[in-house]
Amino acid sequence: MKKIHNIRTNYQFGSLSKSDLAYSPIKQFKDWFSQIINLMTEPTAMTLSTYSKRYGVDSRIVLLKEIKQDGFIFYTNYNSVKGKQISSNNNVSLSFFWPELQRQVRVNGLAFKLSDAYSTRYFKSRPKKSQISACISQQSEVVLSRNLMEKQFNLMCQQFKNKSIPKPDYWGGYKVKPSCIEFWQGRKDRLHDRFIYEKKDKKWVINRLYP
């Protein structure tokens, strides 16, 4: 096997200058996202990091479901580990890595629950079997076997064969409202381009960072 320390990529797909950047980080994110959306198998995948005293920093992949002018939306089980961690400390970070264009976006901000009505509208738009999975999953809890989980799933499929499925109270969305967003473009010889947007007096200030 090739030695890990010898695995290298010389980034050279593009560059980024301050004059390239949009006035707001959300606009800049949308511009980059529009370029990657058809190049990746799962372009909406993002790393969500949360914190608790018990586990420290906890990271996992979730899916971006909407980009709003004031933040990024995803959905989950509120009783999951991440839901409980956000409930006690809503400081979170998001990270997107798009190797196809050698780019990374990092977001720091606060996560807020969406209204039940907003979450319900999205829940109803999901495929029916995805709705059922959300209903039967006690996310992050121990399950005795996959067989048990599949039995619960199949039973609910039969129960709601010709019925609409109500959204569980414990399932819904969060909006992450950013306080800072960093855009990273890989460059050769590790002289990467990095720019950070930071909110100061309700305005976005942009600075270049050392790589």
* Torsion sign, CA atoms 109, 115, 119, 121: negative
CA 117 to chain centroid: 21
- Angle between the 128-136 and 146-159 helix axes, to the nearest 10 degrees? 130
pTM for the structure as a whole:
0.94
Q: How far apart are CA 198 and CA 204, in angstroms?
A: 5
Residues serving a catalytic function are 190
Task: List pLDDT tens digits, range 119-133.
Answer: 999 999 999 999 999
pLDDT, residue 8, reads 85
Quote the pLDDT of residue 9.
86
CATH number, domain 9-125+169-209: 2.30.110.10
Question: Residue 2 has what pLDDT?
Answer: 80
Q: Is 10 a residue whose pLDDT tops 90?
A: no
